[in-house]
Amino acid sequence: MKKSDLITIIENINEALYITALNENMEMDHFTEVNKAACEQLGYSRAEFLTLSPMDIIDPNYLQVLAYGKEKEEFLEGKKVTVESYHVSKYGKQIPVEVSSRLITLSENRQYVLSTVRDITTRKKTEKLLETTLQQFHSLFNYNPDIIFMLDSIGKFSNINTAGEKKIKYSLQELMNMRYEDLVFPEDLEKTIKEFRQVIQGNTTQFEVIVFTKDHQMLNLDITAVPVVIQRKISGVIGIARDITLVKETARNLKENEQRYRSLFDYNIDAILSFDLDGNFQYMNQATELLSGYTTKELIGNSFLPIVVTEEKEKIYDRFSKVKEGKPQQYETIITNKQGERVYLHITAIPIYVDQKITGIHCIAKDITEKKAIEAKIHHMAFHDYLTGLPNQRLFYKDMKEKIKKSQKGNNTFSLLFLDLDRFKFVNDYLGHNLGDLLLQQVSLRLKETVEENGKVYRYGGDEFIILIHESTETASLKLAEKLIKRVSAPYNLEEFEAVVTASIGVSFYPTHGEDVNTLIKKADNAMYHAKRQGKNNYQQYNDNIQTITNNNLKMETLLHRALERDEFLLVYQPQIDIKTNTICGVEALVRWNSKEQGMVSPGEFITIAEETGLIVPIGEWVLKTACLQNKKWQDMGLPPMVISVNISIRQFYHSNFVEKLTTILQESKLEPRYLQLEITESIAMDAEAAVNILRTITHLGVQIAIDDFGKGYSSLNYLKQFPINHLKIDQSFVKDIYSDKGIISTIITLGHNLNLKVIAEGVEKCEQWDLLATSGCDILQGYYISKPLNREDLPAFITTYYYKPSS
C-alpha cells in the first residue's frame, strides 16, 4: 500500500485521530499528525495542530489523566487505555471526549502515542438527564407525603418510602417479608386482590381500601396503582396511596351532622325558619306551618313582615338588620296566624355564614302564647286584689313612686284619700265572710264609678282603700271625698239582704303634707282615724292638731309597755301536717296576751298598736327566743325533731340588729337553725334589695324562710325568684273559699313547685278543704280541722297520738 493511500485512509476515519511524539522522558511532546476529523472537532487547521502539544488542548482540570495509577502502568505495557476528558477547542469551547490511547514504537525505535478521540457530548447529556431523572424520582419517592410502595409480581413488598413507613408503622425491612394482603381489612381483601390482578395484567387502576397499621389502627387509602414494565415485561406494581382517613371521617361527620341538622330542623317542636337577606322565607319546618297556619308554599319567597302585628314591625325590622350585621338576637314578638289570632313568640335569630360571608338568617320561634297568658295572670295577681279586681298595695306603691317623680319634675300637686269602712267588721261577722266579700266587691265598684277618670282606686288591705287623685285642687279633692262618703253609704243588696256601711276618709295633699309616699299615707291614715273619732261617716283633711291615737289605744299602748316586764305574753302552738306522710312536721308559734287589767286580748287588737309603736320589736324578740327554747326542750324530751315557725313583723325584720339577735338566740337555745322557720309577709318586698340581703344572711345561718299570707295582694314572681325562701304559705282567705278559688290555689301551688318551694295552706277547717288541697298537690296543712293552737304542755301528747286518715 502506498503511503498516500495510508494518509487517505487516516483522513477518512470518522473519529479524531492524533499521533503524538514522546521525548526521552516518555513525556508527550507535540502532535506529529492529526486527521481531518480532529481538525473539525477542535476548529484548528492541520498546520496549527502540528505546533501544539496535547497539553494545549486538554482542559487544565484533566491534565492529571494518565499521570498516575493503573492506567499509566497499562499504557506503558502497550495496552490500550481509554479515559474521559475534556478538550478545549480553538474558540474555548469545552468538549467532553472519550480518549483511547496506545503506545506504539516505529522505525529507529521512536515511540509515539496513537489516540482516537470520540465526542461524547450527546452521551454526557443523556447521562446527566438520567441522573437528574433518578434524583427526581428519589425525591418524589422519599419526600412525597403520600405513601409510595412497590410490589413484585406476586404482591410482595419490594420498597416503600419514608412517608409509608411512618403511616403504616412498619419499617421497610419488616414489609419486605410481607404481602399486601397482610395489611388489607378483611372486607376489602377480595376487592383489592381483583385490583392487583388488573394491574399485573397491564392496567392502571384506582380504588379505595382500608388497611391496618402495625398498631392495629385503620387507615383509609385512595390508591393509584400502575404496572412496572421492564423490557416490555411486567415485573411488579408501583402504587401511590393517599391517606383519606381524615377525609372519610370528615365526610362521615358531615353526613351525620347534616342528618342531625335535618332532624333538628325538620322534627323540632319549635318553628325553625330560614330567611334570605331581604327577609323572604327560604325554608320552614312543619312546626312553622302548625304555628302560623300557613303552608310552606304560601310563605316561601314572601316577606315575613306582613304576618307581624303592626306595632311590632319597626322593632322586628331593627332586630333583623342587626342580625344581618352579624349580631345574633333574642327577643319576643307577636304575629297574626292565618286564622287571625295573635301568637306570641320568643325568637332566636342568628346569621348564616357561608365562606365567612352572611348569606341569610336562621330563626327559632318558640310559641309562648300560653306562657304569656300565665304571666299576665300572675302579673295581674301580683298587682291586683283577687277579690275586688282593684289595683293592690304593691301597684299603689309602684304608681306612687312614678307619680311623685313626675310631680317633682312638673311641680304638680295631687291628693291621697285613705278610706276605711266603718261597720264592715260587724257586717262581716254578722252576715258571714261570703256576704262580707260581696259587700267589698260592691263597694269597690261604687268607688271606681265615682272616681272615674279623676284618679285611681286601690284596695290597700282588708276594708281599707286608697284613692290617688290626679292633678287636683284642694277644693275638688274634698268635694270628691264628700261624694264618695254619700255613694258608699247607700244601701247594698247582698243576696236579698239589705246592708248599710259607711266610710271614714282621711285626706293628705302632695307636697303640702309630705313629699314621700309613706308620709302621705301616714297623714291620710291619721286624718281617717280622726274622722272615725268624729263619729265616722265623714272625711277629714290632715292637720297638725289631729290626735292620731285614741284614748283606748293610748291605754293599751301603756299596758303593752308593761306586758313584757310582767311576763304577760304566752305562746300557743298550732300543728302542721305533711300531707304525703300524714304526720306532724312542724308547729307555728302564736303569741297571746293575758293582760292583768283587760284579760285575754286578741292579737288583732294589740299587734297593730305594737307595730305602730315599735313595741313589736321586743315582743317579737321574746316570741322568737321562747319558741326556740321550747322546741329544743321538746327535742330533749325525746320528741321527733320538727320545725317551729315564728312570725316576723316588718319592723322587726328591718331592725338594725335583727340578724345579730337571731344568731344570739340560736346560740343560747342550742337549737339547730334548720328547725327554725321565720314567716315573713310579702310586704317586705317594698324594699326588695335590703330584704334580699337580710334573707341571704338568715339562710346562710341555716334558718328556713316562709312567705306568709301569700296571694293577699303583694305577690311578685320577680321577688319570689330573688328571695331565698323555702315555703309559700297560702293565705287562709283562699282556703276558706277554696270551692270558688280552686283555680287560684292550684296556680299558687304550681308556681311554688316550679320555684322548688313547698306550699303550706293555713285555715283548714273542713275535711273537704283537706281533700281539695291534697289533690291540688299542696304539701303541708294547718288549721282547726287538724288542731286548734295548743299550749306547750298539751302538744307532746297530741304529737305522739296523732293519726288521721282523710276521706280521699
pLDDT tens, residue by residue, 198-256: 989 989 999 999 999 999 999 999 999 899 888 888 888 988 888 888 878 877 777 67
- Across the range 538-556, mean pLDDT stands at 70
User: Strand, coil or helix: what is 206?
Assistant: strand
**DSSP state string for 603-653:** HHHHHHHHHHHTTHHHHHHHHHHHHHHHHHHHHHTTPPP-EEEEE--HHHH
| 494 alpha-carbon distance from chain centroid | 57
Rounded to 5°, the CA angle 181-187-189 comes to 25
Q: How many CB atoms lie within 10 A of CB 265?
A: 18
Strands 758-762 and 727-730: parallel
How far apart (Å, rounded) are the C-alpha atoms in residues 157 and 172? Answer: 8
The pLDDT of residue 451: 92
Nine-digit cell string for 728: 309559700
Residue 155 falls in which region: left (phi positive, over 0), alpha (psi -120 to 50) or beta: left
494 forms bridges with which residues in the sheet? 497
> Which is nearest to 22 in space by CA: 158, 115, 135, 127?
115
Q: What is the pLDDT of residue 805?
A: 57
CA angle 50, 51, 55 (to 5 degrees): 100
Pairing of strands 539-541, 16-22: unpaired
Q: What is the mean pLDDT of the chain?
A: 85
Spatial distance between the Cα atoms of 397 and 406, rounded to a whole number of angstroms: 14
State the Cα–Cα distance between residues 305 and 325, nearest whole angstrom: 19
pLDDT value of residue 553? 58
Q: State which amino acid sits at residue 485.
A: I
Check whether 138 has a pLDDT greater than 80: no
Secondary-structure class of domain 383-547 per CATH: alpha beta
The region of weakest confidence among 396-410, 579-593, 740-754 is 740-754
Rounded-to-integer distance, Cα 351 and Cα 46, Å: 90
With a pLDDT cut of 70, the percent of the chain lying above it is: 89
- Report, as an integer, the average pLDDT of 518-523: 91
| DSSP element (H, E) containing 595 | strand 583-595
Place of cell 301580683: 382
Cα–Cα distance, 539 to 560 (Å, whole number): 30
pLDDT at 302 over 80: yes
**pLDDT value of residue 554:** 62
Encode burial over 664-700: b for 16+ CB neighbours within 10 A, e otherwise. ebbeebebebebbbbbbbbbbbbeeeebbebbeebbe
Q: Is the pLDDT reported for residue 740 higher than 80?
A: no
Q: For the chain, give every domain's residue range.
A: 3-119, 135-248, 268-367, 383-547, 553-801
Which of 78-82, 497-501, 624-628 shows the lowest per-residue confidence on average (mean pLDDT)?
A: 497-501
Architecture of domain 3-119: 2-Layer Sandwich (3.30)
**In degrees to the nearest 10, what's the CA dihedral of 731, 732, 734, 739?**
160
Q: How confident is the model at residue 443 (pLDDT cuts 50, 70, 90)?
A: very high
Question: Worst-scoring range by mean pLDDT, 109-118, 157-166, 677-686, 747-756?
Answer: 677-686
Which residues have a Cβ under 8 Å from the Cβ of 73 and sit 6 or more positions away?
A: none
Identity of the residue numbered 389: G
CA dist 298 and 294 (Å) reads 6
| Predicted confidence band of residue 715 (pLDDT cuts 50, 70, 90) | very low
Residue 761: predicted pLDDT: 92
Q: How far is CA 232 from the centre of its chain?
A: 69
What local confidence, expressed as pLDDT, does residue 737 receive?
A: 82
Mean pLDDT of 688-698: 83
CA separation for the pair 289, 308 (Å, rounded)? 15
User: Do the domains spanning 3-119 and 135-248 agree at the CATH topology level?
Assistant: yes
Instruction: Kindly report the backbone phi and psi dihedral angles of residue 195, in degrees, each rounded to the nearest multiple of 5, phi listed first.
Output: -65, -40
Architecture per CATH, domain 135-248, reads as: 2-Layer Sandwich (3.30)
pLDDT in the model for residue 392: 92
Which fold, 268-367? Beta-Lactamase (3.30.450)
pLDDT band (50, 70, 90) for residue 62: low
Q: What share of the chain is helix, strand, coil (3-state, %, to 5)?
A: 45, 30, 25
Instruction: Give the per-residue pLDDT at 258.
Output: 64
Prior bond to 641 cis, omega within 30?
no
Fold of 553-801: TIM Barrel (3.20.20)
Q: In the predicted model, what is the mean pLDDT of residues 117-121? A: 86
Confidence (pLDDT) at 209: 92
Instruction: Give the whole-number percent of the chain exceeding pLDDT 90.
Output: 33
CB 448 within 8 A of CB 390: yes
Residue 718: predicted pLDDT: 63
Do residues 608 and 556 make contact, with C-beta atoms less than 8 angstroms apart? no
* Maximal CA-CA distance, the chain: 177
pLDDT digits (tens, 9 = 90+) for 376-419: 788 788 888 889 999 999 999 999 999 999 888 878 889 999 99
